[in-house]
Structure 1
Amino acid sequence: MTKEIAPLKPAATVLLVRDCDKEQDTLEVFMVVRHHQIDFASGALVFPGGKVDDADTDAALVSHLPESERREDPLRSFKVACIRESFEEANILLARNRDTGKLVTHERLEKLASKYRMPLQNGEVTILQMVQDENLELATDLLGHFAHWVTPTFMPKRFDTHFFVAAAPPHQLARHDGEESVDSVWAGPNEIQAKADAGEYTVIFPTRMNVEALGKFASVDTVVADANATHTVTVLPEMEVTEEGRYLLIPKEAGYSVTRRAVDPLMDK
């Protein structure tokens, strides 16, 4: 009997980046460690993100976007989810005060976080309610489309995940939520890969590939500009079973350094 393929759930994740001057890296990205009781990639180092909520698709949100972002956009709900998830998981809010046109200040962010961060995460309020009540504009124009990965068909839970990249506002203090994520770190792409190889970090395949891709860029400006200027190739890994073991295959056109990799043990969880 043919095994039924699990349905795809839309999801979004964000690479919040900032310039740095380290021995190994010239930029770094904010990452969180997922709680060990989370049912997907538990304990792994990941970018902030999660499933797209129904509330992220609300058409009324359009009037709370920059004018340049109000045209029809199949990625709109994913961008909204990115901003919501980065607020919930990383305490970073890519939103502007509609009166001033400027990103929210650190002081405003702290007040918003204490009022909305957990209620949003618990589903007690929606992102629309927050932006309406607080006169905010979601800065979706700051998000560059970095990658698109679809969970393999053999997995019991599957996600259609769009990755975005954005410059982290320098005046906002990123920190993990203590609920879904139990730790956080600012780290450079080369640093992350080295520590993953040494066993200090657990990094699943899609995350590793996008960390590595981030390492190709010398600055925040260049990575965001490239994300906005280049076409994103969808990656749907396929399984190859050989006498040596199982391997994931990804398209060469996606531009990653590998097209074939042994199955990550975390993929079976």
Structure 2
Amino acid sequence: MTDARLLPAATVLLLRDGAGGLEVFMVQRHHQIDFAGGALVFPGGKLDARDRAPELLPRLSPNPLIGGDLTPFAIAAIRESFEECGVLLARAAGSDALIDAPRLAALEARWRAPMAKGEIGIMEMVEAEDLSLALDRLTRFSHWVTPDFMPKRFDTHFFLAVAPADQLALHDGGETVDSIWINPQAAIDDAVAGKRSVIFPTRMNLSVLARDMTTAGALARAAASSIVTVKPWLEERPSGQVLVVPAEAGYDRTEAPISELR
């Protein structure tokens, strides 16, 4: 066991219906990043203390399934999506429509870089631009906690969201160096074939997405599912150590070689 502090984090799985079925947006992390360097992951990151600002609460589109302690994680998911791939789940105050591409371009030019650098929080943009964050566009998907034995540990909530049709998702060129819209099963197949690096939690969550062919199906499945916290543990097998997850979490398998963790 390590003394690594558990860091709260949020991840967003942006979805769209492609010509061949369901696609999810993924980014490739820079090889020099200490955690999951070079891996294909979903956009996300650590909570900022400013994601917890009570002043943000009146600026949130309500979601009856995301409230209380989950609210800062949902805010962080929206913020990280904006910072990492330029997708913003927000509306002009009083509007039912998500912001369009021209408005997004103006917001990016003014706010994206200083927010990504941590110079400001999302509240500054929301107040100055009179926005409402679209928490109602998020669906809870999973909850993973990094095992005790890892040197860097996260308490991560995963959310699904359909990507706005007129917003172009693209990697930031800093922490992430490439990006792709990909069918979930294709991403798993590439990982198995050694074409892409996909770490264990990402691969397991892709396996659930791969059960559905449409965004509507994936959202409906997630909304109907109970969230079971997954904190993998180690067990010995004749072939060596394996990672084990609780069967009630509903994944296609309950264990995997420890090599998949990295």
The one-letter code sitting in structure 2 at the alignment partner of 1:40 is F
- 1:221 to partner: Cα distance: 1.3
Question: Closer, same or farther in 2 for the Cα pair 1:125/1:172, shift >3 Å?
Answer: same
Q: Deviations over 1:196-236 (max 9, x none)?
A: 12211100000001011101112111211222232101101
Question: Closer, same or farther in 2 for the Cα pair 1:59/1:241, shift >3 Å?
Answer: same
Q: Deviations over 1:37-93 (max 9, x none)?
A: 111000000000000110101111001011456985221000000000000111100
Deviation larger for 224-233 or 145-154? 224-233
Residue 142 of structure 2 corresponds to 147
Q: Deviations over 1:181-203 (max 9, x none)?
A: 00000000111112112211100
Task: Indicate which of 9, 12, 25 corresponds to 1:11.
Answer: 9
Task: Indicate which of 6, 11, 18 corresponds to 1:20.
Answer: 18
Does the CA contact (< 8 Å) of 2:63 and 2:135 recur in 1?
A: no
Task: Indicate which of 40, 52, 59 corresponds to 2:54.
Answer: 59
Question: Closer, same or farther in 2 for the Cα pair 1:71/1:156, shift >3 Å?
Answer: closer
The one-letter code sitting in structure 2 at the alignment partner of 1:198 is A
Does the CA contact (< 8 Å) of 1:62 and 1:70 recur in 2?
A: no
Query: Which whole-Å CA distance do the structure 2 matches of 1:178 and 1:187 have between them?
Result: 19
The one-letter code sitting in structure 2 at the alignment partner of 1:226 is R
- Where does structure 1 lack aligned partners over 5 or more consecutive residues? none
1:252 paired with 2:247, answer yes
Percent identity between the aligned chains? Answer: 50
Query: Which whole-Å CA distance do the structure 1 matches of 2:257 and 2:188 have between them?
Result: 17
Does the CA contact (< 8 Å) of 1:69 and 1:140 recur in 2?
A: no
User: Could you state the TM-score of these two structures normalised by the residue count of structure 2?
Assistant: 0.96
Query: Which whole-Å CA distance do the structure 1 matches of 2:49 and 2:64 have between them?
Result: 19
Task: Indicate which of 91, 100, 103 corresponds to 1:96.
Answer: 91
What is the DSSP-based 3-state SS (H/G/I as helix, E as strand, rest coil) of the residue aligned with 2:69?
A: coil
Moved over 4 A (4+): 67-72
Does the CA contact (< 8 Å) of 2:2 and 2:151 recur in 1?
A: no
Question: Closer, same or farther in 2 for the Cα pair 1:16/1:71, shift >3 Å?
Answer: closer
What is the DSSP-based 3-state SS (H/G/I as helix, E as strand, rest coil) of the residue aligned with 1:165?
A: strand
Query: Which whole-Å CA distance do the structure 1 matches of 2:171 and 2:243 have between them?
Result: 31
What is the DSSP-based 3-state SS (H/G/I as helix, E as strand, rest coil) of the residue aligned with 2:154?
A: strand
Does the CA contact (< 8 Å) of 1:17 and 1:28 recur in 2?
A: yes
Residue 162 of structure 1 corresponds to 157
Does the CA contact (< 8 Å) of 1:239 and 1:246 recur in 2?
A: yes
What is the DSSP-based 3-state SS (H/G/I as helix, E as strand, rest coil) of the residue aligned with 1:62?
A: helix
Query: Which whole-Å CA distance do the structure 2 matches of 1:226 and 1:175 have between them?
Result: 27
Does the CA contact (< 8 Å) of 1:41 and 1:266 recur in 2?
A: no
Residue 237 of structure 1 corresponds to 232
RMSD: 1.6
User: Could you state the TM-score of these two structures normalised by the residue count of structure 1?
Assistant: 0.93
Deviation larger for 36-45 or 3-12? 3-12
Residue 218 of structure 1 corresponds to 213
Question: Closer, same or farther in 2 for the Cα pair 1:208/1:70, shift >3 Å?
Answer: closer
The one-letter code sitting in structure 2 at the alignment partner of 1:176 is H
Task: Indicate which of 51, 54, 69 corresponds to 1:74.
Answer: 69
Q: Deviations over 1:147-178 (max 9, x none)?
A: 11100010011100011001000010010000
Does the CA contact (< 8 Å) of 1:149 and 1:160 recur in 2?
A: yes
Query: Which whole-Å CA distance do the structure 1 matches of 2:88 and 2:54 have between them?
Result: 21
